[in-house]
């Protein structure tokens, strides 16, 4: 079973992400937990660690960059795969995410279908790398 933590402040994006992940269930057994912002995401990481984190960049309180930096500095979570995603089309966001140690990056296009396809492909790739698919 692949355990995923989704950290995203946007309820619509959490709903869409949940639908995409449910669609993977026949191929990859999943357990999904959600956090509504960066601080809540870091709190969840104090407990049992997920296998994979899906992390939005633009959030209030602690943005995804702050969360990723904290994850990489903590020896307990330093090797945890973190997939960043955002609706930002700024190339600097991708560069910064990679520089901070993001494992992967998925753009959240304006259309749900493209986002679903990109997220699905990325999660399946990581499930295989982790031996969960």
Least confident of 2-6, 51-55, 61-65, 129-133: 129-133
- Structural tokens at position 121: 């492909």
Q: Is pTM, for the whole model, over 0.85?
A: yes
pLDDT at position 8: 95
pLDDT above 70 for 109: no
Rounded to an integer, the average pLDDT of 107-121 is 77
pLDDT at 133: 76
Over pLDDT 70: what percentage of the chain? 95
- CA–CA dist 37, 1 (Å, integer): 25
List 54's β-bridge partners, or say none: 6, 83
Examine the pLDDT at 38 and tell me if it is beyond 80: yes
Whether domain 2-129 has CATH 1.10.10.10: the reply is no
Q: Whose structure tokens read 């407990």?
A: 47
Q: Write down the pLDDT at residue 106.
A: 85
**Mean pLDDT, residues 18-29:** 86
Domain residue ranges of the chain, discontinuous segments joined by +: 2-129
Query: What region does 112 belong to: left with phi over 0, alpha with psi -120 to 50, or beta?
Result: alpha
């Amino acid at each position: 079973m692949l355990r995923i933590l989704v950290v995203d402040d946007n309820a619509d994006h959490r709903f869409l992400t949940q639908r995409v992940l449910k669609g993977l269930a026949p191929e990859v057994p999943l357990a999904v937990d959600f956090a509504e912002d960066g601080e809540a995401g870091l709190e969840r990481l104090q407990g049992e660690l997920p296998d994979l984190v899906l992390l939005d960049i633009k959030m209030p309180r602690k943005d995804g960059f702050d969360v990723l930096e904290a994850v990489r500095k903590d020896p307990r979570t330093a090797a945890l795969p973190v997939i960043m995603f955002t609706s930002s089309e700024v190339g600097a966001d991708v560069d910064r995410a990679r520089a901070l140690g993001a494992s992967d990056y998925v753009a959240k296009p304006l259309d749900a279908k493209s986002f679903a396809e990109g997220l699905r492909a990325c999660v399946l790739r990581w499930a295989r790398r982790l031996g969960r698919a």
